[in-house]
Homo-oligomer: A and B are copies of this chain.
Amino acid sequence: MAQKTHFADRLIAAIQKKGTPICVGLDPRLENIPAHITAKAMKEKGKTFEAAAQAILEFNKGIIDAVHDVVPAVKPQFAFYAPYGFAGVWAFEETCKYAHEQGLVVIADAKVNDIGSTAEAYANAFLGKVGLFGAETDAPFVCDALTVNPYLGTDGVKPFIDVCKKQGSGIFILVKTSNPSSGDLQDQIVCEQKLPAYELMGHFVDSWGADEIGKSGYSSIGAVVGATYPSQAAALRKLMPQTVFLVPGYGAQGGGAEDVKPCFNSDGLGAIVNSSRGIIFAWEKEGDEKKFAEAARNAVEDMKQDLYAI
């Protein structure tokens, strides 16, 4: 679906409208989906990938219905759909479409990366228009933004930026990721600039996004900065004031409100904080699987309060 307005402006407006920078991660691990949903799917379609896809979509719709009026964005993680092959990817497509229909900003988390001409194919698939027998059609995945891995450098990222410019979509480029080993490469000090590699990438992202700044003052070329590394986030926030940070690592991965604080600018904006398991599987703590959607909404409200405190 063509987006003619500016991605960062749209995201910032959604954050302001909902009054919170929460992104709900749609990581539908099949084994954590309530039994009444999986049992129904299995009864109708057996122990098949199609049944898994049906269960995932029903679960996601329940979550989306429960949270769409209180959060600005969702982030479906491609890795949790791929294990069910094309049926799983169908559920991914339908999830993106449904979330979009419910007015949510959809950030596809696939961390794609490739050389220029191949990256262009990914950019079209997730964010652009697809050539089809001499015509052009809407991309299959109805996304507003996509995560991108920068290991290949400028010409691997440029095709995404070109599509963003044309379609009013956005990307979030991995800069400092939330996992324990992210420092193996990202924390290495590069000699020429005497900076850790993640700051070097921060400079790249800042320059790649310089021409994509909207009325909100933020660029559609964003960065992924983990909540689990608050001091590194503070350095990056200073280095790239006009970049929106997509912040994973809150909740299940150990990041708290104090940890995400450095990701925000003094205007209270500039970051969108993701929580996946802590929200969508909140029912496991409360114990009533039938109330999984209500539990998710409650978890959003708790997270909202937690973030208010910062």
Q: Which A residues fall within an 8 A CB radius of B?
A: 27, 29-31, 38, 42, 47-49, 51-52, 77, 79-80, 82-90, 92-93, 111-116, 118-119, 121-122, 124-126, 130-133, 135, 137, 139-141, 149-156, 174, 177-186, 188-192, 194, 197, 200-201, 204, 248, 253
Contact = CB atoms under 8 A, between A and B. Distances in A.
Number of this chain's copies in the complex: 2
Given A79-B122, A153-B186, 18 more contacts: A49-B132, A52-B132, A79-B121, A79-B125, A85-B125, A88-B140, A113-B149, A115-B248, A152-B174, A152-B177, A152-B181, A152-B182, A154-B181, A154-B184, A155-B179, A185-B201, A188-B192, A197-B197
Contact of A83 (B112, B133, B140): B140
A8 B137 CA distance: 42
Given A149-B149, A152-B179, A38 B133 contact: yes
Contact of A132 (B47, B125, B248): B47
B179 A84 contact: no
Contacts of A152: 174, 177, 179, 181-182
